[in-house]
């Protein structure tokens, strides 16, 4: 699942909450969501944890983590 798909059914402010929990700006998160920037390996792992596995690190960076089977 992509971050864009993850946020489709989330309430208003969910993106801001995730950005705050990750310690990044809302702008940086928007760049990641829109595939204009790639998150670091550490950030991918944090996103996977905070989304409770809905968005995996392999979804975010298949070049680093490959697809998990």
Q: Say if 8 falls within a structural domain.
A: yes
Here the CATH number for the domain that contains residue 12 is 1.10.260
User: pTM to 2 decimals?
Assistant: 0.89
Domain extent, residue 44, equals 3-62
Residue 65 reports pLDDT greater than 60:
yes
Q: What is the DSSP string of 6-53?
A: HHTTSPTTHHHHHHHHHT--HHHHHHHHTTSS---HHHHHHHHHHTTT
Neighbours of 19 (CB within 10 A): 17
Number of structural domains, the chain?
1
Do the domain assignments include residue 69? no
The answer to whether residue 36 is domain-embedded is yes
Residues 3-62 pLDDT 10s:
999 999 999 999 999 999 999 999 999 999 999 999 999 999 999 999 999 999 999 999
> What six digits make up the tokens of 54?
């809905």
């Amino acid at each position: 699942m992509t971050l864009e798909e993850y946020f489709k059914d989330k309430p208003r402010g969910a993106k801001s909450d995730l950005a705050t929990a990750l310690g990044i700006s809302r702008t940086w998160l928007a760049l990641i969501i829109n595939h204009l920037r790639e998150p670091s390996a550490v950030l991918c792992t944090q996103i996977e944890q905070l989304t409770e596995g809905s968005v995996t690190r392999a979804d975010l960076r298949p070049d680093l983590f490959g697809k998990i089977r």
